[in-house]
């Protein structure tokens, strides 16, 4: 086996932590497409439009990161199966008392099942709580919270219908120094805790949920062989593990988990892929071409019912994500706001064949703010003493991640960079009067300043959607807080270097 591939594979497992239904289903295989619906957006689409978007594109499973009332009501009687998430911040109170867990289940699960006909299948207890970047913050509360939620589901009479699980990052397991999947085991510092959780899941007929991100291989290691991150690639040297040959990192990563389960006596435990996908902006490798390539390969595998060498039947897979989220934390990287298969407004980013000869279709009924943009005035100068502070202010309160090097707007000159920043602030502020002043450096225009790959947005008018009718079907997300300031600092430094010709 090529030692370089050993290194690359081992590297993937070491770096992934930086970014931080029943057993019968395992034999039957899983039908349909799943997605993650994140709600960290300044101008979210109306939930009814999002549900129609999912149905139009063949997504019949969705994972939410929180029990959002609008999203859950829209999902009622839609024919879409739902996984409802519990944010990490709620783990401690839920872990402290079964009564607290019962109250949460009553308000966020039972109510929507009985009153709205929501097809809830899972409760996701926490979101990647064992990331090494969290330290031991959630180590003592995750398992008790899981136990209490399961008890609350049983008490509510939902124990068979709804299963409790914990979405975990792939850094909870690792391979030995050889990097081979067959050497996989759970991380030493949480090994006993993982076995306790897995035994509990097994005893209750619930699946283990794992998030896998091949994109992070390229993000963290510029020497990682690009083709090995994708499916059906012939350019990367394979990883040979005994009688098994791995041609992509997803299969190798997943089978490392399966080896860990086998090693600890849980060879048949069902596994869900809670998140997997590819971003389209915010990094040179986060682009439309790579995202289309990865997600098309992923969807093809799902539609073909293809598993991995160790698990021939496919797991349930929830693609991350459905729509871009411009409020997500960018501490892991600028790409965090660009995981969507669709733009923030439900428009198409790229084509995907979702099966049966169907291609992705855009959202319907979306209304926008006035067709006008805030740009830098032609009479203004980048040498104006107010220039740096104005740009920094704009990017502190709006999303400027597309301006980074290698991103979709990364090749603009200094004035165009400022125009992009001013416009994002103006649009984020709903084009309010006075939001395009910037010390007399800016002006409104009716001419779209978009160019090449750089799109100058006009935001959704959140009060003027045409809502599609809801029809019953016979088929019956957080991570983050606002964190613009870090991006603003990086952007201003980059911009000033451009101005100074550095």
Which entry of 66, 128, 325, 392 is annotated as an active-site residue?
128
Tell me the DSSP string of 227-245: GGGSSS-SSSPPEEETTEE
Q: Is 262 a catalytic residue?
A: no
Alpha-carbon span 440 to 371, nearest angstrom: 21
Q: Is 128 a catalytic residue?
A: yes
Greatest pairwise CA separation for the chain in angstroms: 71
| Closest CA relative to residue 337, chosen from 382, 272, 394, 283 | 283
Which entry of 66, 106, 262, 275 is annotated as an active-site residue?
275
Kindly provide the b/e burial profile for residues 54-83, where b requires at least 16 CB atoms within 10 angstroms of the residue's own CB: bbbbebbbbbbbbbbeebbbbbbebbbbbb
Alpha-carbon span 419 to 425, nearest angstrom: 10
Q: Is 100 helix (H, G, I), strand (E, B) or coil?
A: helix
Tell me the DSSP string of 444-501: EESS---BTTB-----B-TT---PPPP---TT--------HHHHHHHHHHHHHHHHHT
On the CB side of 384, CA atoms within 13 Å amount to 21
Ramachandran quadrant class, 434 (left: phi over 0; alpha: psi -120 to 50; beta: rest): left
The size of the chain, in residues, is: 502
| Closest CA relative to residue 133, chosen from 3, 248, 20, 291 | 20
Q: Which residues carry out catalysis?
A: 128, 275
């Amino acid at each position: 086996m090529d030692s370089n591939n050993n290194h690359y594979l081992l590297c993937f497992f070491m770096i992934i932590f930086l970014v931080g239904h029943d057993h019968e289903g395992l034999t039957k295989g899983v039908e349909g497409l799943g997605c993650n619906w994140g709600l960290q957006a300044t101008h979210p689409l109306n939930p009814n439009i999002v549900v129609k978007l999912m149905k139009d594109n063949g997504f019949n499973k969705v994972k939410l990161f929180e029990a959002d009332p609008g999203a859950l009501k829209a999902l009622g009687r839609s024919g879409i199966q739902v996984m409802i998430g519990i944010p990490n911040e709620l783990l401690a109170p839920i872990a402290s008392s079964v009564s607290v867990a019962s109250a949460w289940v009553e308000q966020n699960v039972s109510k929507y099942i009985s009153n709205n006909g929501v097809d809830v299948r899972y409760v996701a207890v926490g979101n990647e709580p064992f990331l090494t970047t969290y330290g031991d913050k959630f180590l003592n509360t995750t398992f008790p919270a899981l136990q209490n939620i399961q008890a609350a589901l049983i008490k509510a009479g939902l124990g068979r219908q709804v299963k409790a699980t914990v979405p975990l990052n792939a850094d909870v397991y690792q391979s030995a120094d050889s990097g081979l999947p067959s050497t996989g085991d759970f991380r030493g510092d949480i090994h006993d805790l993982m076995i306790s959780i897995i035994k509990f899941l097994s005893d209750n007929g619930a699946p283990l949920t794992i998030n896998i991100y091949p994109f992070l291989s390229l993000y963290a290691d510029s020497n990682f062989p690009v083709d090995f991150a994708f499916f059906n690639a012939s350019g990367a040297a394979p990883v040979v593990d005994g009688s098994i040959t791995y041609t992509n990192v997803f299969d190798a990563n997943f089978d490392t988990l399966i080896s860990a389960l086998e090693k600890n006596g849980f060879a048949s435990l069902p596994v869900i892929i809670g998140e997997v996908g590819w971003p389209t902006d915010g990094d040179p490798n986060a682009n439309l071409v790579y995202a289309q390539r990865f997600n098309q390969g992923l969807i093809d595998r799902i539609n073909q019912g293809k598993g991995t060498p160790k698990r021939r039947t496919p797991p349930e897979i929830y693609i991350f994500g459905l729509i871009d989220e411009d409020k997500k934390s960018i501490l892991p990287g600028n790409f965090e706001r660009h995981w969507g298969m669709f733009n923030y407004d439900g428009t198409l980013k790229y084509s995907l064949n979702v099966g049966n000869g169907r291609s992705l279709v855009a959202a319907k009924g979306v209304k926008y703010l006035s067709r006008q943009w805030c740009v830098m005035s032609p009479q203004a100068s980048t040498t104006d003493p107010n220039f740096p502070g104005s740009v920094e202010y704009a990017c502190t309160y709006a999303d400027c991640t597309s301006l980074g090097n290698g991103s979709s707007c990364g090749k603009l000159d200094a004035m165009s960079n400022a125009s992009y920043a001013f416009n994002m602030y103006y649009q984020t502020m709903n084009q309010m009067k006075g939001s395009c002043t910037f010390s007399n450096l800016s002006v409104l225009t009716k001419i779209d300043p978009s160019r090449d790959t750089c799109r100058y947005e006009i935001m959704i008018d959140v009060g003027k959607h045409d809502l599609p009718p809801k029809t019953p079907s016979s088929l019956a997300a957080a991570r983050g807080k606002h964190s613009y300031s870090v991006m603003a600092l990086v952007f201003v430094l980059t911009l000033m270097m451009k101005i100074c010709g550095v």
